Structure 1
Amino acid sequence: MKSAFFCCFLLFTFPSFLHAQESVAVEKRYTDEIKSLANRSVVKAVFQHFADWEPQTKQDLIALTETPAPPFKETAKAKKYAAMLKEAGADSVWIDEIGNVIAKRKGRSSRKTVVVEAHLDTVFPEGTDVKVRQKGDTLYAPGVGDDTRGLVAILTVLKGLEKAKIETDADVWFVGAVGEEGLGDLRGVKHLFKTHGSKINSYIAVDGDGISEIVHRGLGSYRYRITFKGSGGHSYGAFGIVNPHSALGKAIYYFTGEADKFTRQGVKTTYSVSVIGGGTSVNAIPYESWMEIDMRSESPERLKGIDQLLQTAVQRALKEENSLKRSGPDLTVDVKKIGDRPSGKTEPTVPLVQRAMAVSTFLGAVPKLDVSSTNANTPISLGVPAITIGSGGVGGNVHALNEWWLNDKGVLGLQNALLVLLAEAGIAK
């Protein structure tokens, strides 16, 4: 999710955020609703449980952080998390075909389903040391904040509902999703909506720290791996055959020139030729040359526009390089989309967004509406009310080996998730 997180030792709010905050007033009916909800004795009881459980919540965070969940290999963490959700009292817990952990807590009417979710995966490859180190009150470990803290937050909310015997009106699904990071391409949530989308009425992702940021706009992205292929050969003996590197260079030149002009106006749209490779030796004409490109925008139209510039540049480069051929076969090009994160917006007047803002205000923070790439992108793009909220505390160095999280009023993050969830799911009467 992508950002204020790319820099070391920056406090993080949500991974991959490109902050573009929106200022919107909270309607009085929602502030009144949250005040009334928070003053109920059963809710106050859960707040107290959260405070009493701080030592156990810390141990849960350490245990889950030390269970590896590298990209596409989240199984061990999924099994551990499923066991924890079952022990917490969910009515049913299962791991679906793609690896998502889903815990269902039945509501009285079951006329509505609210999902509260955090992601299982981290960006760190298999074999990374994920042992938690503590210095003072600060925990250090890869993935401790992004997003293991989110997993623990929704687990603790489930525990609180069970302990206080709060029955919601709606069904609530507590989800640990796979594939949020990098080339995971939101595959967990995409699968969730492919198989259960018609049942889901609202979606609350918990990712990042603090309680101020509320993501209601999905930052979409297209990612490509583009490979020019040729026969390759000796740099002297095969001279005259077409060179994939030359085609790649032309493609980059034509694309970035047009993309620069395109992105200087309108809704913020970005592009990056991020990785390039190919070739075998200084005295060999390469048989392939490839690049990976990332393009982002919260506007679907702008994203499609810059995508078209890329496709045009690639074909132009291919044609021009082949026209230089003196011998041998033509170059070919393989354009493979390796990432497609949808964009969209949950309007700030939608009850879910208003409730999240009212909760943040009630807990003493200043709500900030933002855009980012998170698991909420998928439901947002499908028209399902969805947001991403923080899990409390403060942290930094996200996506780095020295990632850290500090329990600075972290209990507020648990209260935040609980109140937003209860406002959306309703307490059965």
Structure 2
Amino acid sequence: MKSYLKAPFIAIALLSACVSAQQSVKTEKEYTKEIAKLAKSKKVQAAFGHIDSQEDQTAKDLVTLTEILAPPFKEEERGKAFGQMLLAAGVDSLWTDKVGNVIGLRKGTSGESGFVGVDAHLDVVFPEGTDATVTQVGDTLKAPGIGDDTRGLAMLISLLKAMNQSKIQTQKDLLIVGTVGEEGLGDLRGMKYLFNESGLDIDSWIAIDGGDIGRISNAGLGSKRYKVIVKGQGGHSWGDFGLANPHHALGRIISTFSSDAWAYTSGNIPKTSFNVGRMGGGTSVNSIPFESWMEVDMRAIDPKNLDEIERLFKNSVEEAISEYNSSGIRGKVTYELVQIGDRPSGELPTSLPLIQRAMAATEYFGVEPKLGRGSTNINIPVSKGIPSVCIGRGGKGGGAHSLHEWYLNDETGPESIKLALLIALAEAGLKK
């Protein structure tokens, strides 16, 4: 990978989290002019026309992909369908990497090294067995995952078709990617592989996710997630009363951690959060459980705060277990910590050309760009100082991560595809 920012600059960018997100940033005139000139190109205008004319097909692609459920770690079938769509739309080559990312290559003309990547994620949060049948009420499409992020996948197909139909050629190679593992316990495994193990030389990255047109993330919200497993001998609630109880020990962990973490996060620090999201264990109401578990999510703007709340968490677990085992109970409990998530924080300076281009392209469509921070695919490249943005998919939608998710394709739907195209062309360079 190339290094785009000198080390001190990276440090400043990654630790500048005293400000949650840039409130108001001015677009530099050179990028406003660059985007305006690019948008006026006859081929780009032709591509815009193709995006408009194929909106019915884009909606059909959206329905097709939505109805192929892609639960966490089981994106293969949707990936195959998405790959077939990429081939039909005209990629130069297509492959699926070892973790399941579906990658289409559209060759540039310059022979320069360094790819420009555009992606949407294949996975949804819903488990196997979820009914993903799309229903239509008026102009509104309803189904789990139809917005997050299946709409992004359909946008990529439309973007690729428009480039080929208008005979646009870029100077740099483009990667058009359906990534795996963006949601939940997927822990960005698709992006981690692309940027840590694939060997691909990636210059910049544009992710499509999120909501409204105008939303631009240039910062990653870091998180660490753990599963705590407490084990004991187990027994009968009456006959073995007094035996070490994993549920009781887990309750002490929660109490200790909540107290310490609340005191820390309530201090004068950039926003930092903690949450016990899931719990389980036990066999019956009249049984002392042999196992108890919980899953914990911790997030922070600043990597230093994330490291600190992780330290507090580990100390709380150790302290609570020690105190419980010394409380007079018979026998002891043991515990195990399993890390189930690690997303790095980071923030890129707004002066980077990619971010300026994203802002200028957004303004070209008469929309005010809103820079911010999120937990998305760009967490990985951002943490490495590689130019990256995450943009919205446009249209109107709601109910993300629920069975009642919906999407309405208003005028900002096709404009969001055009926006993604403009940013990608500005980064990859339009052949003259």
Same fold, judged at TM 0.5 (above): yes
Post-superposition shift, 1:326?
A: 4.9
Q: Which amino acid aligns with 1:331?
A: V
Q: Could you list the per-position Cα deviations for residues 10-37 of structure 1 after superposition, in whole angstroms to 9, with x for gaps in the alignment? A: xxxxxxxxx9553211111111110011
Change (3 A) 1:251 1:40: same
Q: Does 1:297 align with 2:300?
A: yes
Residue 126 of structure 1 and its aligned partner are, at CA, apart by 1.2
What is the TM-score with the length of structure 2 in the denominator? 0.92
Offset of residue 254 of structure 1: 1.1
Deviation at 1:161, TM superposition (A): 1.0
1:23 and 2:40 are equivalent in the alignment: no
AA of the residue aligned to 1:405:
Y
Greater alpha carbon shift after TM alignment, 418-427 vs 204-213 = 204-213
What is the root-mean-square deviation of aligned Cα atoms in Å?
Answer: 1.4
For 2:104, the equivalent position in structure 1 comes to: 103
Aligned position for 1:68: 69
1:226 aligned partner: 228
Deviations 1:240-267 (A, max 9, x none): 3322222211111111111111112211
Indicate the residue corresponding to 2:311 in structure 1: 308
Q: Is residue 2:145 matched to residue 1:127?
A: no
Match in the other structure for 2:276: 273
Instruction: State the match for 1:10 in structure 2.
Output: none
Report how far residue 186 of structure 1 moved. 0.8
Which 4+ residue blocks in structure 1 deviate beyond 6 angstroms? none
**In structure 2, how many angstroms separate the alpha carbons of the residues matched to 1:337 and 1:26?**
41
Paired position in structure 2 for 1:7: none
Match of 1:15 in 2: none
* 1:244–1:366 CA distance, 2 compared to 1 (3 A): same
Deviation at 1:270, TM superposition (A): 0.7
- Where 2:91 maps in the other structure, the secondary structure is coil
Q: Identical aligned pairs, as a percentage? A: 52
Unaligned stretches of 5+ residues in structure 2? 1-19
Give distance in 2, aligned partners of 1:220 and 1:145: 23
Take 2:276 and 2:56, find their aligned partners in 1: how far apart are those partners?
45
Residue pair 1:346, 1:387 contacting (<8 A) in 2 also: no
Counterparts of 2:105 and 2:197 in 1: how far apart (Å)? Answer: 15
Deviation of 1:334 (Å): 0.4
Q: Aligned partners of 1:342, 1:326: CA distance in 2, in Å?
A: 40
In the TM superposition, what is the alpha-carbon distance from 1:399 to its structure 2 partner? 1.0
Distance 1:98 1:419 in 2: 30
Deviations 1:126-166 (A, max 9, x none): 12111111111111111111111100111111111111111
Shift of 1:337: 0.7
Give the secondary-structure state (helix, strand or coil) at the position aligned to 1:240.
coil
In structure 1, the residue matched to 2:323 is 320
What residue identity is the alignment partner of 2:300?
Answer: S
Worse-superposed segment, 234-243 or 178-187: 234-243
Q: Which residue of 2 aligns with 1:282?
A: 285
Shift of residue 352, structure 1, vs aligned partner? 0.7
Deviation at 1:58, TM superposition (A): 1.2
Question: Comparing 190-199 with 148-157, which one deviates more in the overlay?
Answer: 190-199
User: Aligned partners of 1:209, 1:319: CA distance in 2, in Å?
Assistant: 46
How far apart, in 2, do the equivalents of 1:56 and 1:242 lie?
61
Q: Deviations over 1:180-205 (max 9, x none)?
A: 11111111111111233550010000
Deviation at 1:208, TM superposition (A): 2.6
Structure 1 unmatched runs, 5+? 1-18
Aligned residues: 410
- What is the rounded CA distance, in whole Å, between the counterparts of 1:408 and 1:281 in structure 2? 52
SS in 2 for 1:146: coil
2:84 aligns with 83
Tell me the equivalent position of 2:38.
37
Match of 2:349 among 347, 350, 362: 347
What code does the residue aligned with 2:143 have?
A: A
SS at 2:38's partner residue? helix
Deviations 1:385-410 (A, max 9, x none): 11100122111111111211111111
Partner SS state of residue 228, structure 1: strand
- C-alpha separation between the residues in 2 aligned to 1:155 and 1:198? 22
CA distance in 1, matches of 2:329, 2:400: 51
SS at match of 2:270: coil
Residue 101 of structure 1 and its aligned partner are, at CA, apart by 0.4
Does the Cα contact within 8 Å between 1:243 and 1:321 map onto a contact in 2? no
Pick which of 72-81 and 103-112 moved more: 103-112
Which position in structure 1 is the counterpart of 2:118?
A: 116
Q: Does 1:425 align with 2:428?
A: yes
Give me the TM-score of the superposition, normalised by structure 1. Answer: 0.93
* 1:414 is aligned to 2:417: yes
Rounded to whole Å, the distance in 1 between the matches of 2:386 and 2:394 is 25
* 1:176 matched residue in structure 2: 178
Q: Distance in 2 between matches of 1:324 and 1:232?
A: 18
